[in-house]
Amino acid sequence: MKAQIEKNIAVILPPEDSYWVSCKFIIRNFLTSLSILKGSFNLHFFKTDQVNDLFYKTNIDHIFYLNPYDHPDQFLEKLPSNFRQEKISIVVFGNYLKDIIRWFNFLNNNQLKLRFIVASEAQKKILNRFFIGEVDIIPFPVDSTIYKLRTEGRMNHHDNLVFVFAGRISQQKNIHILISFLARAKKENILNDCFKLKIIGSFDDQYLPLSDESAVLGTYYHQIFHEVSHDVGIDFFQQHIEFLGPMEPDKLALEFRKSDIFVSLSTFTHEDYGLAAAEALESGLRVILSKWGGHISFKNYFPTQVSFVDVDIKSNTLELKYESFKKALVGCIPPTQFLRGESQLNEQRIAELLTTHFSSANFDVPKLHDDFSDFIQKVKLSPDSKYSLEVLKDYAT
């Protein structure tokens, strides 16, 4: 017997893909999860520039806003009166703080029944600092057709220990610190001569520490290949560090199958999740992650695979702790036993969480905290767009 259609849901998508590679794949994976729900929910798909088409739908009773590139305010302000009493879900991505003034203006004037979705506990903490409202944690799904749990050990397994990083190669991702930590670990005989760090991705100068400002083009490339290679030694750099450039998902998945440990020491100001880390975990790798942002939630899903590197919050900066990295490293090597866990972030599991979310009766108008106006001034420290650690400390706890 065919399942009864419970609700008609309008899914609002961006008009086109962006250069933000992770967001592009997150949206695609969400669509796969949503397709699993077709037996229980009737889904209608619109792009944000097709809001007029939505006006002709009279039976929509839930709006699901899935657009990481455009703030939802303009779209929602255009909703006709017959939609303004319906439930509205908004997926909030990591750039929430970047648009905090816009969120303030929107929430201050909002009378819509909203419920927010975030990918991690850290992101929920940040939202809860600003307003009182329903916030659900639904991790971003991983493409289970590409990133699969291995049924045996690493491919091409020789004596080499293989570390891998995937993502943007920018200063807040701390590749320079990762290389220096590995060099120090080798000097202390924690690592022998048989290891390799594979770095997958493109260089990006868009973000400076605790800031949204860009560096001069090529700044971070120069820092990695000149300053860092000089500090650790050219021989170390040439023997142990390998840059593979950006990769399509199928090739990235293949590199994961050839690797032992995924490492990310990111302290990115918008690190609400970490899609590459999620994909590595779903591939069965051990991971060493900075105890920062969305990374922290991965321990809930993969308790035996995740090790953390502590982030020390000082007066105006963040410091990754080498001793914590060393402890995590010793706990991961040698990889004596292959990990055979269960998939936790596949589209089916996320579909189950979405079902619970859509079935919830608790949608209401969010309320700003009384001290929101005062606190919003602390988001930025100075005119050069540095973020206040008073806000970002929620990413390290």
Contacts by 127-131, CB closer than 8 A, 24 or more apart: 127/92, 127/96, 129/369, 129/375, 129/391, 129/394, 130/100, 130/103, 130/104, 130/368, 130/369, 130/372, 130/375, 130/376, 131/107, 131/366, 131/367, 131/368, 131/369, 131/372
Fold match flag (7-141+349-396 vs 161-332): yes
Please give the pLDDT value at position 212: 82
* Residues 6+ away with beta carbon under 8 Å from 240: 182, 186, 195, 196, 197
Examine the pLDDT at 158 and tell me if it is beyond 70: no
Q: Could you read off the pLDDT of 95-154 as tens digits, one per residue?
A: 888 888 899 999 999 999 999 999 999 999 999 989 999 999 999 999 999 999 876 666
For residue 1, what pLDDT band results from cuts at 50, 70 and 90? very low
d(CA 32, CA 84): 28
What lies within 8 Å, CB to CB, of 299 at 6+ separation is: 306, 308
The tokens for 367 are 């309320």
- Per-residue pLDDT tens digits for 321-351: 999 999 999 998 865 555 667 899 999 999 9
> What global pTM score does this model have?
0.94
Burial of 290 (0-12, 13-18, 19+ CB in 10 A): buried
Cα–Cα distance measured from residue 321 to residue 45, given in angstroms and rounded to the nearest whole number:
46
**For residues 206-216, average pLDDT:** 81
SS3 296: helix
pLDDT over 80 (residue 167) = yes
Mean pLDDT of the chain: 89
161-332 belongs to which CATH class? alpha beta
DSSP H helical ranges for 150-203: 175-187
Residue-range domain boundaries for the chain: 7-141+349-396, 161-332
How, if at all, do strands 195-200 and 161-166 pair? parallel
Q: Report the distance separating Cα 347 and Cα 343, nearest Å.
A: 10
Fold annotation for 7-141+349-396 = Rossmann fold (3.40.50)
Lowest model confidence (mean pLDDT) among 202-211, 325-334, 371-380: 371-380
Residue 6 pLDDT level (bands cut at 50, 70, 90): low
